Amino acid sequence: MKIKIFFGIAFWSLLLLAGCNRDDISFESPTQLLRFSTDTVFCDTVYNQMRSETYAVKVYNNENKDVLIPKIALESGSGSLYRINVDGKVGTSFENVALRRKDSLYVFVEIAPVANAPEAIAEDKVVFNTPAGEQKVTLLSVVQDAEYFIKTDTNPNIISENTTWTKDKVKVIFGDLTVAEGKTLTMEKGTKVYFRKNSGMNFAKNSILDVKGALGDEVIFRGDRSDTKYDTLPANWNGIKMDEATVLNMNYARVFGGNVGLQLKNNNNATINNSIFHTFQNAGIYGIHSKLTMNNVVMNNCGEADLAIAGSGTYSVNYSTLANYWNLNSSMSAVGIFASNTWKNEEGILESGLVTINVKNSIIYGDTLDLVSLSNNSTGTAISARFDNSLLKLSTNSGFTPVGTDIIRNEDPKFQNYFTQKMNLRVKAGSPAIGKGKVGDIVITTDIVGKSRGNSPTIGAYQ
């Protein structure tokens, strides 16, 4: 009997609660100012016709009574590039918004520029009007004009003619964009190439990528999420793949935030000058049977290796800084250079050849014990590696003794800041890298920022 009485009371109590609604609560006009979680919302950089991610502002009622906010609205009204969501409803203006005592509500914000919106800083305000006074939360975002390359079932997304990109519009790539066989894609200084998740660029046989950046006006390759937090996160896009016999000339580029930044494959010929690669899930540059020359190149924060090499090829690294302070997954090798004299192709066949590595006037240093790892399979020719006037981090158990002249081993180069948030791989005063370069057959008279190296160069990318 007691159980029946208990369930009866519970049933009628639930029924009574279900019958209550907001109209049964007495809401009053606010007599105090509202409080906000922030007074300014900085939204991600957005591109025409693309929505930003959603941002939240929390609104607090500090009074000991339930209040009704007369009006919450965007200052620019229906013409605003922004939209807000208040209490589950989307729009630009809301009236009589209820807020319980000592409670809070969320105002969600996003920006969605229309086609051909002017490239500028987009600013608006969310205005809260109450008897206690008018309050505003500022909204800020950068809007960029964009050109889209979208792969679909009916559009293979192929550049079939020689093409030049300029910085007038951001290039946003959805899926894979392919440069056709034998064609050239030129990128003038300041070009920005942004990739959606799982997107990348492919260069077909005998095609050419010519990147013509300039100091202070670099060509940028990155994911399309421009919020600064994504600058230090990998795997936002796939990478750039160069197929058989392609040519790459790259000067003053910044490539970051993907899976493999650049993959060279089968008789590629690549020259990279004055460029920065950082924050890749696997490798910054991956060379397979290729020829690569790097001058004044900075690399950092790659899960497997800054520079990975397989199969065969010739790889020259001059006046470069290959740091690796990867800390996102401790199970990954995070080395500066990894090289194997074999490579298993798509058919599962093991290919091998001669790998030749020449490192001069460079720094290879980071957190792991061995920043150089050479894997010599007995079925292939032994790797030929030489390190001259360079600083290397290698443990006594590294498995090989580096060959070369004037090698500095296991001395901290004293980087200014190796954290990718504020990465600065210049060396501090007292660094063992200062003055240890050798002016010889490799003539590089200035560093990555155009500073003269003089007759007593510092090793690494920075003088």
User: Could you tell me what percent of the chain has a pLDDT over 90?
Assistant: 78
**Does position 338 have pLDDT exceeding 70, yes or no?**
yes
Q: Domain coordinates of the chain in residue numbers?
A: 24-143, 146-427
pLDDT (0 to 100) of residue 19: 46
Q: What is the CATH number of domain 24-143?
A: 2.60.40.10
User: How far apart (Å, rounded) are the C-alpha atoms in residues 225 and 302?
Assistant: 19
Which segment of 6-10, 166-170, 397-401, 417-421 scores lowest on mean pLDDT?
6-10
**Does position 149 have pLDDT exceeding 90, yes or no?**
yes
pLDDT (0 to 100) of residue 15: 45
State both tokens at 64: 């000991």
**Does position 126 have pLDDT exceeding 50, yes or no?**
yes
pLDDT (0 to 100) of residue 25: 63
- 452 burial (CB, 10 Å; 0-12 / 13-18 / 19+) is exposed
- Fold agreement (24-143, 146-427): no
Q: How confident is residue 115, by pLDDT bands cut at 50, 70 and 90?
A: low
Q: How confident is residue 18, by pLDDT bands cut at 50, 70 and 90?
A: very low
Mean pLDDT of 125-142: 94
pLDDT (0 to 100) of residue 431: 98
Higher pLDDT among residues 128 and 231, named by residue? 128
CATH 1.10.3470 applies to domain 146-427? no
**Does position 299 have pLDDT exceeding 90, yes or no?**
yes
**Does position 322 have pLDDT exceeding 70, yes or no?**
yes
pLDDT (0 to 100) of residue 117: 67
pLDDT tens for residues 278-287? 999 999 999 9
**Does position 91 have pLDDT exceeding 70, yes or no?**
yes
Instruction: Compute CA distances 398 → 9, 211, 368, 369, 373, whole Å.
Output: 75, 37, 11, 8, 8
Share the mean pLDDT of the chain.
Answer: 92
Task: Spell out the SS3 assignment of the chain.
Answer: CHHHHHHHHHHHHHHHHHHCCHHHCCCECCCCCCEECCCEEECCCEECCCCCCCEEEEEECCCCCCEEEEEEEECCHHHCCEEEEECCEEECEEEEEEECCCCEEEEEEEECCCCCCCCEEEEEEEEEEECCEEEEEEEEEEEECEEEEECCCCCCCEECCCEEECCCCEEEEECEEEECCCCEEEEECCCEEEECCCCEEEECCCCEEEEECECCECEEEEECCCCHHHHHCCCCCCEEEECCCCEEEEECEEEECCCEEEEEECCCEEEEEEEEEEEECCEEEEEEEEEEEEEEEEEEEECCEEEEEEEEEEEEEECCEEEECCCCCCCCCCEEEEEECEEECCCCCEEECCEEEEEECCEEEECCCCCEEEECCCCCCCCEEEEECCEECCCCCCCCCCCCCCCEECCCCCEEECCHHHCEEEECCCCCCCCCCCCCCCCCCECCCCCECCCCCCCCCCC
Q: How confident is residue 48, by pLDDT bands cut at 50, 70 and 90?
A: confident
Mean pLDDT of 315-320: 98
pLDDT (0 to 100) of residue 37: 96
**Does position 121 have pLDDT exceeding 90, yes or no?**
no
pLDDT (0 to 100) of residue 272: 98
Which segment of 1-5, 49-53, 257-261, 377-381 scores lowest on mean pLDDT?
1-5
Higher pLDDT among residues 443 and 162, named by residue? 162
pLDDT (0 to 100) of residue 118: 65
Mean pLDDT of 424-449: 93
**Does position 20 have pLDDT exceeding 80, yes or no?**
no
pLDDT tens for residues 176-221? 999 999 999 999 999 999 999 999 999 999 999 999 999 999 999 9
**Other CB atoms within 10 Å distance of the CB of residue 389:** 23
**Does position 373 have pLDDT exceeding 70, yes or no?**
yes
Which segment of 18-22, 77-81, 238-242, 266-270 scores lowest on mean pLDDT?
18-22
